[in-house]
Structure 1
Amino acid sequence: MAEFVDRRMESALQELEQLVKAKICTDEEIKSIVKTLRKLEYNVGRHGKSVEDHLKYVKYEMEFLELIRERRKRLGYNFKFNEIEGSVGKRCQTRLLRAEGRHPGSMEVWDLHVELCRFLNWHPMASQVFIRMLQVHSDKPEVWIKAANFELKENGSPDTARELFMKALRWHPKNEELWREYLLAELKIASNVYARAELLGVSTADLVKGDDPIATGKLVMAVARNAMLTVPDVDFSASLYRAIHTTQISLKLPEELWKPLSEFILSEMERSHGALPAYWKRRAEFCLLPTRSTANGDTLTEYETINAEKAAFEVLDSAIEKNDSADMWQEYMEFFVDLYSESAAKSDDRLHLLKKRFEKAHEIFQMAEQKKAVGFSHLLSWSRILFARRRVQEALAVLSKAALVLPVTLDGFAKLIQCYETVSTDSGAVIPLIQRAKATLPKTDPEFWRHLISWTLQHQPSDAEAVFRDALRQTRPVVASSALLYLQWAYRESTGKGRKVYQELCKTPGAFTEPLIKWVLEEEEKRRKAPIALLRKILDQALIAHGSTSADLWIDYIQLELTYPGGDALKSSQMVWKAQRALKPEAVALFTSMYNLITADESESG
């Protein structure tokens, strides 16, 4: 193999010599590069090479190319590109072609090849890589999208991009992301047509009146129609509308192009989905799109936002008049939940807007309650809205109603108790819920006990130990998760109590787990007052239970003897011998590598 490595290294000498002549690299740097390249060549030439070996090779070369680029800028040297970058790029490409053949299923190899071609501006070569990639990964819609967007945005080939999207849709006709990206690609192509016409002095009106299907918007409208026919889903159609609104702002599309398209999508949505409550919620959300993005990037004024929300409320009010059903009321309430979530994320503090929004939200929740359409989750949302306006008593009254329709699930109890904790510091309403949860929820779920312990510690701390002991009488998964919480609580109480509880847990079936042992070791070592005899005793107990499977515990013991005050370095050497005898064969290799790292660190520090 050395002969082949030397041959490949000789082929790299030309660009390395050019780098020295151009003073881009020094002789010492070239020696270091040659040493690293030789090592990488041996890695990719050995019999048991992996995909990571190929990737490391190419990534190193690409970092080298980045260094060359930066030094060219600094020196102002703009010659010998083919002899230097071209030679390195061809060597990387040869390596990547071999990697593609050996590991065609690795997307990282394909992506790195495309990245290399982009870095070197080899766009035709990148197109060929995408073609080979699609032959192997045609089942992945994201690869088709990546290839088509490359052809459109970087390679300047809209016809090829359109062809790729159409082929992709034959493979994946129901894929929503493909249809959406295809629609946006057609809008981008139309935008390019309008930009070119503007440079040539052709008016927008002349383009719209012409017979070009791209400029008139007929092509993009056909794409939208086919998309909605193929994927007849209200959320998908709404996503198309939102995508068009965002794109027309970013691309500054003329109104003559995007507005008819938006109106067409709205009319098709109403024709196909007008009977669905979800459609009217999406329609109301469209009224708020100007509040989220504007052409100049500015936010709307408070007055403009109030008017936009008023228009959204009018859409939903008209929907309620047509369809006074529980589902419609739930969509109306969900609209307010989303609106408040978005407002909280933005930290909106416009007082008049918040007042108007609350008045409408409170009115709708009250009307929905009269219709008996407010479910458990919406009652919780209603209480949060009331609490945000400091109407605490009304929020508590709503939570009382939620408790009456509380589903018998852990998630339901957790959400209701969390709302009570947010609204009020009084535990009077929470304690009956905790008792109800204990009586109704299954006790075999570790997650239930985690919540129960948390609730008890916050609201009934005097009962905490009883709950912990009850948990230790349950199934092994419950015991394993609760034991660590019990130990952490005991150490917070006092060190003596923590050590006493630890001794009890050592004798409890299922409690003496490796995470528990590691935690108590860390806790004792933090204090630095724990005698080493105590730590040794903890580790001796741990190794009796887990010494045949856990290489980590043996390493912890060795590090304890090497680093802790009072440790015995001679004993650490004995522990290595014991570990190799006690561990199972599959764990011995891991232990050996971990121990070698420790000894290497010790020798370096020494």
Structure 2
Amino acid sequence: MSEHVESHLESMSAEFMEMKRIRLFSSDEIRLILKTRKQHEYKINGVTKKLEDFMNYIMYEKAVLRDIRIRRNKLRIVDKKGAIEYSITKRIKHLYEIAIQNYSNDFPLCLSYFKFCKEANFHQRASLIIQSITKRFTHIPETWQVAASWYLKNDLNQALNMIHKGITHHKDNQDLYCEAIQLELHNRDKNNSNEGSQFQQPTASDVNSCKKISTYVDAACEHINDYNFLLKILSILEKHPFTKEVQVSIVARLLEKHSGEENVWNALAQREYRGHHYKVPPELSKCNSHKFRLKRCLDKYEEGIAVMEKEHPTKVDLLWGICLDWLVDKYQCQRQGNVVNQTYVLDMFEKASKSSILEEKYYIIWAKLLDDEKKVLEVIENGLKESPTSLELWKLRLKYSAMKNDVKEFNNCFKEGVKRVKEKSAPLWVAALRFHSLNSNVEIVEAIFKKAVEQPNEVSGVLKPEYIEWLTLHWGINEARNMYLKLARQQPYCKELHNVMAKIENIEIDIDLKRLENVYKLACEQFGHEDCDVWVNQVEFYYKHRDGLIQLNSNFDISESVLAVYKEAAKKLEGQGFLWADFTEKFKRISE
């Protein structure tokens, strides 16, 4: 085996010499390529060789080939252009052939070889591979698609023949039927082009193609009961007006056999919007205005909803949701020319609310679309009946209560909202504080704050810091300090409370360093096990206020204080991986 490998490597010497001579690769790079190839050669020539070894070697050679092309373009090296690449390409081809001799039943390998030969312009070899694949892998549907694609360039009839054979073996394969239809459309376009048709009147080719496509659809439906398949065919045919008759038959089939699918009605409604009308009255057959198409589209949605209400009531909500989402999207995109009158949107929301139980998001959208305050409140109230725990609806309800400036109504709405939303009610508390800040005295505002900080952590954690800021502004720093000490010791602890109090202390004209130090210490005590920044803040405090601390206490030693913080941090953070590493890095940066 060793002699065989060395012989192979020796045959590459001319290739390496040319690479070096034209400076495509350095000597070190060439040695690395040689070493890598040697490793691959030993693997594929070993007793326990595997397909994976061949594929790894092939992928490596392809990577070298790509690298050469990139380097030639970058360095503008044209010397020996093609010769080196051809040598590597032949090696890849040889590797594929050896692999296939050993693993002839591996379809991905054969397919990969075919694609390589096609890209490398080994057309004769590619043609032979296709013939081999279609004999050996008849049980794989992709075989026939690949074969059809290969023959399509030169022989459309042979491409169709491949697809027909594929369908014979795989009567339930959707892709093969779609491919057959695509090829038939391609054939029709080619024939009409040869005939010089201006597509004004159906040609013989049109009629013949329609018959064939219809035959494919009928044959497929005998073995495939999937509405998505029919919708896919419709989308293919939609671009070809001459297939209208086939499209109509497919729509009829969808309505007959798949009327319980919301996606079917959505697709049919969208076809109406694009101007592909089904059973339009003769007097309206030439009408194609945007207004007409929109009405046809919405009528189709309503037709589907009516059918589902009788036969599939559990899916009515889904279809209404699809309809409303599309309609709102069109309305919001009207600046781009897709004008949808607001009346249409509001009318459909009204109909939907009477026919179905809407999700909360639709009540929110509906309310925001309305201009009539009375109607807005009615919609919100109806939404809250269906979704009584919806935070967004309660926020809207509070907003409109605030706009009426009725304190009693606002308070009742706020209490009910908090009761319903519970731990998610922080935004309602914030809204209440803002409302009463504008409409009530400070005692009422403070009473709300006091209730808020007694709520679950999801609420109190948000409002404790705001309460301290509010106290500072309205009653002064001493009141804020006293409340801070009380709240700071209340569980669950609030990290942001310490941050806010530290900011307040830091902006005082005469900073009380003892109180500020206590804030940092409390933060470390409560959160030092999960947050390295609280320790960093305390260290920064000592460095920043060193002189002031010495004035307070002549025995103050900053090194000693910083070391004490470091030791305490180590007790709580050491062994916590990233947190400890993060702290030590920041500590080192501060201390330098």
TM-score by length of 2: 0.60
Give the conservation status (yes or no) of the 8 Å contact 2:184–2:209: no
- Cα 1:206–1:237, aligned 2, differ >3 Å: closer, same or farther? closer
- Which is higher, the Rg of structure 1 or of structure 2? 2
Structure 1 gaps of 5+ residues are: 292-302, 408-412, 439-451, 471-484, 507-516, 543-552, 569-606
Superposition deviation, residue 342 in structure 1: 4.3
Amino acid at match of 1:261: V
Superposition deviation, residue 207 in structure 1: 8.9
Structure 2 gaps of 5+ residues are: 277-287, 403-409, 430-451, 462-491, 503-519, 541-561
Superposition deviation, residue 375 in structure 1: 1.0
Amino acid at match of 1:184: Q
Cα distance in 2, alignment partners of residues 118 and 486 from structure 1? 68
Cα distance in 2, alignment partners of residues 527 and 109 from structure 1? 64
Q: 2:453 aligns with which of 450, 462, 466?
A: 462
**1:443-496 Cα distance to aligned partner (Å, 9 max, x none):** xxxxxxxxx5xx3554457357645999xxxxxxxxxxxxxx988767866765
Amino acid at match of 2:188: A
Q: Say whether residues 1:333 and 2:320 are aligned partners.
A: yes
Cα distance in 2, alignment partners of residues 163 and 114 from structure 1? 20
**1:260-283 Cα distance to aligned partner (Å, 9 max, x none):** 332332333344456877655432
Give the conservation status (yes or no) of the 8 Å contact 1:491–1:499: no
Aligned to 2:383: 402
Aligned to 2:588: 565
Aligned to 2:32: 35
- Root-mean-square deviation over aligned CA pairs: 5.5
Aligned to 1:90: 90
Give the conservation status (yes or no) of the 8 Å contact 1:100–1:110: yes
Give the conservation status (yes or no) of the 8 Å contact 1:234–1:273: yes
Give the conservation status (yes or no) of the 8 Å contact 1:306–1:353: no
Aligned to 1:364: 348
Cα distance in 2, alignment partners of residues 431 and 152 from structure 1? 74
Cα distance in 2, alignment partners of residues 132 and 535 from structure 1? 71
**1:207-245 Cα distance to aligned partner (Å, 9 max, x none):** 9326x98x5332222112223343334443233212322
Which secondary structure state, in structure 2, belongs to the residue aligned with residue 565 of structure 1?
Answer: helix
Superposition deviation, residue 179 in structure 1: 3.9
- Cα 1:179–1:465, aligned 2, differ >3 Å: closer, same or farther? same
- Cα 1:465–1:405, aligned 2, differ >3 Å: closer, same or farther? closer
**1:406-445 Cα distance to aligned partner (Å, 9 max, x none):** 49xxxxx5xx43455578758986875665466xxxxxxx
Superposition deviation, residue 309 in structure 1: 0.8
Give the conservation status (yes or no) of the 8 Å contact 2:40–2:53: yes
Superposition deviation, residue 88 in structure 1: 1.0
**1:78-134 Cα distance to aligned partner (Å, 9 max, x none):** 9874x5333212322444566779999999877765654443234565567778889
Give the conservation status (yes or no) of the 8 Å contact 1:383–1:395: no
Give the conservation status (yes or no) of the 8 Å contact 1:238–1:282: yes
Aligned to 1:536: 570
Q: Say whether residues 1:184 and 2:182 are aligned partners.
A: yes
Amino acid at match of 2:570: R
Give the conservation status (yes or no) of the 8 Å contact 2:89–2:120: yes
Superposition deviation, residue 288 in structure 1: 2.0
Alignment of 1:498-577 (within 5 A): 499-502=524-527, 520-521=531-532, 529=540, 532-542=566-576, 553=577, 565=588
**1:233-260 Cα distance to aligned partner (Å, 9 max, x none):** 4443233212322xx3xxxx5x43x333
Alignment of 1:337-416 (within 5 A): 337-340=324-327, 342-343=329-330, 347-349=333-335, 353-354=339-340, 356=341, 358-370=342-354, 373-377=355-359, 380-388=361-369, 394-406=375-387, 416=390
- Cα 1:382–1:108, aligned 2, differ >3 Å: closer, same or farther? farther
Cα distance in 1, alignment partners of residues 118 and 184 from structure 2? 23
Cα distance in 2, alignment partners of residues 56 and 532 from structure 1? 52
Aligned to 2:146: 147
Cα distance in 2, alignment partners of residues 430 and 406 from structure 1? 16
Aligned to 2:297: 312
Superposition deviation, residue 44 in structure 1: 6.4
Cα distance in 2, alignment partners of residues 122 and 488 from structure 1? 70
Amino acid at match of 2:42: G
Give the conservation status (yes or no) of the 8 Å contact 1:151–1:158: no
Superposition deviation, residue 7 in structure 1: 3.1
Aligned to 1:417: 391
Give the conservation status (yes or no) of the 8 Å contact 1:456–1:463: no
Cα distance in 2, alignment partners of residues 367 and 402 from structure 1? 15
Aligned to 1:226: 219
Which secondary structure state, in structure 2, belongs to the residue aligned with residue 365 of structure 1?
Answer: helix
Q: How many residues align?
A: 471
Give the conservation status (yes or no) of the 8 Å contact 2:266–2:319: yes
Aligned to 2:121: 121
Q: Say whether residues 1:26 and 2:19 are aligned partners.
A: no
Amino acid at match of 1:226: A
Aligned to 1:11: 11
- Cα 1:418–1:236, aligned 2, differ >3 Å: closer, same or farther? farther
- Cα 1:110–1:419, aligned 2, differ >3 Å: closer, same or farther? farther
**1:142-168 Cα distance to aligned partner (Å, 9 max, x none):** x45863574366x55545654554565
